[in-house]
């Protein structure tokens, strides 16, 4: 039975979405093409009808995950973003959480196309967060990009460090609490005397 062009596109999108979740959950090296295709409900042989290589799929899956993170972050403001981002719920939900905190370390060791995808995703995320910085005081507005980059690096680092601890570790929660509090405190408007 011949697959229509529309069905082939839908199949590819499903493979990309499945790969995006599995890569965030297990890392790029934590799942092979055969297992990934089986999880998506397809045979291993069908992979090369859709992608030239695993690196092609990695780049496309990361672009999809990063795009979704950017869309989910748009319009919630810095405080809302960081309250959610540096939370136990986000820490524990690897497969649907942020691609940055799940795969930045892996991406650093991948082909250029994957690094390019991450660079583009970071730029988009920074732009969304910069727009969400409308409530910062005038002095902070001048340095909004630097503030966004610093806070995002702290948030991603907090998730990575917390995930490195055992799930039931008090240290995992302490890392999140300390970093979330520091980020939110630094974003609070100054108290007038």
Residue-level pLDDT at 175: 98
Q: What is the CATH classification number for the domain harbouring 131?
A: 1.10.357.10
Percent of the chain with pLDDT over 70: 92
Q: How confident is the model at residue 135 (pLDDT cuts 50, 70, 90)?
A: low
Q: What is the pLDDT of residues 28-49, one digit of tens each?
A: 999 999 999 999 999 988 898 8
Evaluate the CA torsion angle 43, 49, 55, 60 in order and state its sign.
negative
Range of the domain at 172: 55-187
Tokens of 65: 């995950």
User: How many domains does the chain contain in total?
Assistant: 1
CB atoms within 10 A of CB 151: 23
Which residue in 112, 126, 88, 121 sits closest to 20, CA to CA?
Answer: 121
Q: What is the pLDDT of residues 23-32, one digit of tens each?
A: 999 999 999 9
85 found inside a domain: yes
The predicted model scores a pTM of 0.88
Which residue in 62, 61, 46 sits closest to 8, CA to CA?
Answer: 46
32 found inside a domain: no
User: Per-residue pLDDT averaged across 130-142, rounded?
Assistant: 69
Q: What is the pLDDT of residues 54-100, one digit of tens each?
A: 999 999 999 999 999 989 888 888 899 999 999 999 999 999 999 99
Quote the CA–CA distance of 106 and 98 in Å, as a whole number: 14
């Amino acid at each position: 039975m011949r697959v229509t062009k529309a069905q082939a596109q839908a199949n590819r999108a499903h493979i990309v979405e499945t790969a995006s979740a599995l890569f965030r959950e297990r890392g790029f090296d934590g799942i092979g093409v055969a297992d990934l295709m089986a999880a998506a409900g397809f045979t291993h042989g069908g992979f090369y009808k859709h992608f030239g290589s695993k690196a092609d799929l990695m780049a496309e899956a990361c672009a999809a995950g990063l795009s979704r993170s950017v869309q989910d972050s748009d319009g919630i403001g810095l405080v809302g973003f960081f309250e959610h981002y540096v939370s136990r719920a986000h820490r524990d939900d690897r497969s649907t959480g942020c691609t940055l905190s799940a795969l930045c370390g892996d991406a650093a060791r991948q082909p250029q196309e994957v690094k390019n995808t991450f660079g583009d995703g970071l730029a988009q995320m920074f732009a969304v967060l910069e727009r969400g910085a409308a409530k910062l005081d005038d002095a902070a507005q001048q340095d909004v990009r630097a503030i966004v980059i610093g806070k995002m690096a702290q948030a991603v680092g907090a998730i990575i460090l917390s995930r490195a601890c055992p799930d039931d570790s008090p240290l995992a929660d302490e890392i999140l609490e300390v970093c979330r509090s520091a980020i939110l405190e630094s974003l609070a408007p100054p108290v007038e005397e």
